[in-house]
Structure 1
Amino acid sequence: MNRTDVTFDSAGISLAGHLFLPERCGTAPLPAVVVGHPGTGVKEQTAGTYAARLAERGFATLAFDAAYQGESGGLPRGLEDPAQRVEDLKAAVSYLTTRPEVDPGRIGMLGICASGGYGIAAAAGDHRVRALATVSGVDVGRQFREGADGTQDPAVVQAMLDAAAAARTAEAHGAPAGTFPVFPATAEEAWAAGGRHGGEGYEYYCTDRGRHPRSATEFTLSSIDRIATSDQFRFVGMIAPRPLLIVQGTEAATKHLGELAFADAREPKELHWIEGASHVDLYDRPQHVGPAVDKLTEFFTAGLAAE
């Protein structure tokens, strides 16, 4: 497997990516997969893990940093803008169509965590995406409104929207962009506030398990109202008749979100369970990532077959 650093444009913002190619490409153009990272991730983390593993299985793959984050451009830093994230995925497809190694008629998309929802929104409107898969996919707007497990007190998001409104007013008067931390200060706080889902998220992003210096540790407050009023799953039915695969862990706090997307999707569709895996287990645990990659390989091999 070979990796090349690349850049491409997304609505005027330069995005940084890693293009992975199989060790032996031959001369025939390859099927390709765009891989989107979780909401706080960067291309060097789980998105890069899946991209590299799929390249080993014979696909050209592209993992990249979202606008305003990682090595990509855009100001203010730490902005999470659902509309831009969807545009970034479409821009990645556009970039792959320009690569001589890629068959432009055989491009798929894999969204992990937040990019699962963004991938649904992108693929619904972009018919160049021939097959879509998600791993631990979530609708980040619904997650903000209802919490990871759907039981969050509605007052929580209302308080966050108050903070976002105050920040926008302060910025209009010349203040710098206000931010909020993505994770609590300690592991103990993360486990207490977010249970297993929050604790494992902290463990992945804030310890040597998965930490990366460019991974987002805070978002701008102006991200909040953008996220809270977004609905990534709304048009999942428009993906058909292109195939959809939803991969979820049986122990994931967010598994109900995958079930919701699956219920609203149209055939051909498949909900595939990874036994014993939590949401974050599917980021990097070999015993869970391995079976997920096997299923993704099967799915994209069929979905991106030459016509």
Structure 2
Amino acid sequence: MKRWQKIAARVAGSVLVVLFVGLMVVSRSQALDLITHPIGEREAIDQTPADFGLAYEDVSVTTPDGLNLVGWYLPSKNGAAIMAQHGYKGDRRGLLDEAAMLNENGYGVLLTTVRAHDLSDGEVISFGLNEMQDLEAWYQFLLTRSEVDPGRIGILGNSLGGSLVIQYAAQNGNIQATVAHSAFSSLDDTVATSIKYFTGLPAFPFAPAIVLWAEQEVGFDSSEVSAKAWIGGLSPRPVFLLQGGADTAISPESGQLLYDAAGEPKELWYEPELGHVAFYTELPEQFEDRVVGFFDRYLLGD
């Protein structure tokens, strides 16, 4: 090999090393930003159910690992109750409109939070690995309510919340009906879309590296927190999936992937023009008819 070729090979090798190190540094930084949510970065809670003219209670629970979680409870008028879980880095305000709608139709609504969100304890988001403890603590709270029939409890979630409620309901056979709005089917299915949405970075080469760092930092395997892997366990209890085809936060194929993996009874409401968690804001009357109708059918027997 000629001298200039050796020099060129060394330069190329050095450049590749620098690029690889840069990829790892940027990817780890982004992974840490995606999985951590310090309370100092969270928004103030400047709206409550009272702004909708609704009676409610400030409530809290303690998880098995000692974290304090905060929420709101709107009492039931028909004996049934819905657990309502917000999305990624959101808070209980994110489902206030839907909660008001459900409560006006007689349902008790427990607006839940999970660790590392809202004013609840914790700073690390694990996409379902640890959040199952949180949802179980909230479920146990509902069992203390004398006006709630334990056989008439449903669950609703948006985005990450949708993925969480699928995972949780599959593990708790007492959840009688599940609604998941813009839920991602699995981290692997949606990572390319979501990484670009939340970080602005191109999926390649960053997405695989970011997932790898997140798995190492949290201590989980992304396949363990897959709603697609869990959803079959809901059957014979029903699930209702809502997915917009113009979703840019998660893969818009998520709804169909979840539907295909689910057992009966199952429903998929797909709107090609809608974006992420847009069904209530864009189609409020249809949303009320279909979501309330779903819960009425399976929780009240109507």
* TM-score normalised by structure 1 residue count: 0.70
Cα deviation, residue 299, structure 1: 0.3
SS at 1:294 equivalent: helix
Q: Is residue 2:83 matched to residue 1:34?
A: yes
Q: Which residue of 1 aligns with 2:291?
A: 296
Closer, same or farther: CA 59–162 of 1 in aligned 2, 3 Å: closer
Counterparts of 2:264 and 2:237 in 1: how far apart (Å)? 8
Q: Which residue of 2 aligns with 1:44?
A: 93
Q: Which residue of 1 aligns with 2:70?
A: 16
Q: Which residue of 1 aligns with 2:235?
A: 240
Closer, same or farther: CA 251–303 of 1 in aligned 2, 3 Å: same
Q: Is residue 2:152 matched to residue 1:106?
A: yes
- Percent of aligned pairs sharing the same letter: 25
Q: Is residue 2:205 matched to residue 1:155?
A: yes
Closer, same or farther: CA 155–228 of 1 in aligned 2, 3 Å: farther
Kept in 2: contact 1:107–1:129 (CA 8 A): yes
Closer, same or farther: CA 162–140 of 1 in aligned 2, 3 Å: closer
Q: Which residue of 1 aligns with 2:267?
A: 270
SS at 2:155 equivalent: strand
Find the structure with the greater CA-based Rg.
Answer: 2
Shifted more, 86-95 versus 116-125: the winner is 86-95
Counterparts of 1:148 and 1:259 in 2: how far apart (Å)? 17
SS at 2:82 equivalent: strand
* TM-score normalised by structure 2 residue count: 0.71
Counterparts of 1:281 and 1:33 in 2: how far apart (Å)? 20
- Give the counterpart letter for 2:110 in structure 1: L
> Which one scores higher on RCO, CA 8 angstroms, separation ≥ 6?
1
- Runs of 4+ in structure 1 displaced over 4 angstroms? 161-165, 223-229
Counterparts of 1:145 and 1:223 in 2: how far apart (Å)? 17
Higher strand content, 1 or 2:
1
Query: Which consecutive unaligned segments of at least 5 residues does structure 2 have?
Result: 1-53, 197-201
Cα deviation, residue 15, structure 1: 1.0
Q: Which residue of 2 aligns with 1:72?
A: 120
Counterparts of 1:142 and 1:131 in 2: how far apart (Å)? 26
SS at 2:153 equivalent: strand
Cα deviation, residue 35, structure 1: 0.7
Cα deviation, residue 261, structure 1: 0.5
Counterparts of 2:88 and 2:81 in 1: how far apart (Å)? 23
Q: CA deviation digits over 1:10-41, x for unaligned, max 9?
A: 2222210111136xx3xxx6101101111111
Query: Which consecutive unaligned segments of at least 5 residues does structure 1 have?
Result: 169-221
Kept in 1: contact 2:83–2:109 (CA 8 A): yes
